[in-house]
Amino acid sequence: MKIADSKSGHHQSFLAPAEQRLVRAIIAELPDSVSPLQLTRICLFGAVVAAVALVGSRWSALWTPLIPLGLFLNWFGAALDGPLALHRRTSDPRLGLVEHTYDLFSQILIIVAFGLSPFLSIASAFVVLICYLLFSAYTYIRAIARHVQQMAYIGLGATEFRILMAIWPFAAHAMGVDETIDDGVSRLDAAIMILAAFAICGLAVKALSDARRIAVDESGRGI
């Protein structure tokens, strides 16, 4: 998430330090003609490319190589628009709202497109989407309530999520996964539902833990 604080290392994803170094290096080479808003549009364009390729993969495997390309463009725009605005000292809350909105809709588009592809059933895609929205919402709630800017959970953030989405179509194709065949709940569906249940339970435990800490902090202030 873009509200990540680079100083809170335990809230970062596994790839965050390397990603931040890469982002700084790219920003240093970007021409002045490239604006943060243009990068935000590239983010959404990449999501559209990935979504079209995912749906197209139902009929031809030739679409599959476009999936990681679209996800890369999505990452490129999402990872660089905010930092570029900060680097140029042109940050604007209104632009930040546009960036986060584009990010949200681009991820929703990609996840739903997975459900229309041969690599994931629509049921599993909606389970993943529910988990994504829950964790995203709690990230913003936690930022407001505790002023803790957390970009990842158990070391997995947006970048790792995109990498998994880029790899899965090829892994699914190699394993002969075809979720367009309607044969009830597949093993993949069952595995995703079990993992989602664990993830939601973990989020609930974390939310209760944060609530207790806030209660303790508030009682301490009252004294």
In a domain, 114, yes or no: yes
Query: What sign does the CA torsion over 134, 139, 140, 142 have?
Result: positive
Domain coverage including residue 149: 9-222
In a domain, 1, yes or no: no
pLDDT at position 2, please?
Answer: 44
Q: With 0.85 as the threshold, say if the pTM is over it.
A: no
pLDDT digits (tens, 9 = 90+) for 39-83: 999 999 999 999 999 999 999 999 999 999 999 999 999 888 888
- Tell me which long-range contacts 13-18 makes (C-beta under 8 A, separation of at least 24): 13/151, 13/152, 13/155, 13/156, 13/157, 13/158, 13/159, 13/160, 14/152, 14/155, 14/156, 14/160, 15/157, 15/159, 15/160, 15/163, 16/151, 16/152, 16/157, 16/159
Written as six digits, the tokens of 138 are 């709690």
How many domains would you assign to the chain? Answer: 1
In a domain, 4, yes or no: no
In a domain, 119, yes or no: yes
In a domain, 2, yes or no: no
User: Domain with 58 in it: what CATH number?
Assistant: 1.20.120.1760
Q: Name the residue with tokens 């680079």.
A: 6
pLDDT at position 55, please?
Answer: 96
User: What would you report as the CA-atom Rg of the chain, rounded to the nearest whole angstrom?
Assistant: 19
Amino acid at 112: V
Polymer length in residues for the chain: 223
Amino acid at 51: A
In a domain, 160, yes or no: yes
In a domain, 104, yes or no: yes
